[in-house]
Amino acid sequence: MAPVKKTIFHLDDDIEILNLVKSVFDKRLSVNYQGFETVEAFLHAIKNKQPDLCIIDLNLTESLGAGFAVTKAIRNKAEGKMPIIVMSKRSHAKDISLALEFGASDFLAKPVDFDLLIEKVMYLLRGAESNMFPVHRIKKPVTGTLEVHLKPVMLDEAYLYVKSKFFILKNTTINMQHTLLSKIFGESKKEFLVHDCQLESHEGQYILKLIPKNPKDDYFDKIHRYLLEET
Amino acid sequence: MNQKIKKVFVLDDDDKTNVALAKILQGAGYIVKIFNQMSQIQAALKTEVPDAFIVDPHSQDAGSVEFLIFRQNDQVFKKIPLIGFTEKISREEIVKMLSLGVHDYLIKPLNAKLILSILKKYLASDEHKQYLFKDEEDAIGSVDLQFTRVSETNIVAESPVKLTDDEDGLYRIVSRDLEDRGVTNAALSLTKNTTFVSQEGLFRAYFRWRGLNESILQLIRSGRF
Mean pLDDT (whole number) for A24-35: 90
Quick count: other Cβ atoms within 10 Å of Cβ A227? Answer: 20
Q: Is the pLDDT of residue B192 over 90?
A: no
Listed by start position, the domains of chain A span: 6-128, 150-230
Listed by start position, the domains of chain B span: 7-127, 146-221
At residue A86 the predicted structure's pLDDT band, cuts being 50, 70 and 90, is: confident
- Which H helix or E strand runs over A48? helix A39-48
Q: Mutation target for A interface from B198, B212, B224, B225: give the one with most A CBs within 10 A.
A: B198
How far apart CA B145 and CA A141 sit, in angstroms, is 11
Tell me which of A10-19, A71-80, A114-123, B176-185 is least confident.
A71-80
CA A79 to each of CA A95, A98, A137: distance values in angstroms, whole numbers, following the listed order? 21, 17, 14
| Bridge partners of residue A137, in order along the sequence | B149
Global pTM value: 0.63
3-state DSSP call for residue B64?
helix
| pLDDT, tens digit (0-9, with 9 covering 90-100), for B61-118 | 888 899 999 999 998 898 899 999 888 778 888 888 888 889 888 888 888 999 999 9
At residue A32 the predicted structure's pLDDT band, cuts being 50, 70 and 90, is: very high
Per-residue confidence (pLDDT) for residue A78, from 0 to 100: 64
Alpha-carbon radius of gyration of chain B:
30
**Closest Cβ–Cβ partner in B161, B164, B192 for A146:** B161
Alpha-carbon radius of gyration of chain A:
22
| pLDDT, tens digit (0-9, with 9 covering 90-100), for A159-213 | 999 999 888 998 999 999 999 999 999 898 999 999 999 888 677 789 999 999 9
| Bridge partners of residue B202, in order along the sequence | B197
Tell me which of A88-92, B12-16, B42-46 is least confident.
A88-92
Q: Mutation target for B interface from A52, A126, A138: give the one with most B CBs within 10 A.
A: A138
Per-residue confidence (pLDDT) for residue B169, from 0 to 100: 59
ipTM: 0.75
How far apart CA B67 and CA B41 sit, in angstroms, is 9
Per-residue confidence (pLDDT) for residue B165, from 0 to 100: 64
> Mean pLDDT for chain B?
85
- CATH of region B7-127, choose from 3.40.50.2300, 3.30.465.10, 2.130.10.10, 3.10.20.90: 3.40.50.2300
**Chain B residues 1-20 with CB within 8 Å of chain A:** 1-4, 7
CATH superfamily of A6-128: Response regulator (3.40.50.2300)
Among A131, A213, A85, A41, smallest CA distance to B153 is for: A131
3-state DSSP call for residue A142?
strand
Residue B57 contacts residue B11 (beta carbons within 8 Å): no
E strand spans, A19-135: 31-36, 53-57, 84-88, 106-109
Count of A-B CB contacts under 8 Å: 247
How far apart CA B104 and CA B85 sit, in angstroms, is 9
How far apart CA B156 and CA B150 sit, in angstroms, is 6
How far apart CA A64 and CA B163 sit, in angstroms, is 29
> Mean pLDDT for chain A?
85
Compare all CA atoms of chain A with the CA of B48 and give the residue at the minimum distance: A221
How far apart CA A29 and CA A22 sit, in angstroms, is 10
Residue B164 contacts residue A206 (beta carbons within 8 Å): no
What's the gap in Å between the CA of B91 and the closest CA on chain A? 31
Is A176 in Cβ contact with B132 (below 8 Å)? no
CA B84 to each of CA A150, B102, B161: distance values in angstroms, whole numbers, following the listed order? 44, 6, 51
Per-residue confidence (pLDDT) for residue B1, from 0 to 100: 46
Per-residue confidence (pLDDT) for residue A67, from 0 to 100: 87
Query: B122 to chain A: which residues are within 8 Å by CB?
Result: none
Per-residue confidence (pLDDT) for residue A104, from 0 to 100: 82
At residue B51 the predicted structure's pLDDT band, cuts being 50, 70 and 90, is: very high
- CATH of region A150-230, choose from 3.10.450.40, 2.40.10.220, 2.60.40.1180, 1.20.120.80: 2.40.10.220
| pLDDT, tens digit (0-9, with 9 covering 90-100), for B124-159 | 766 667 888 888 889 999 999 999 888 877 888 999
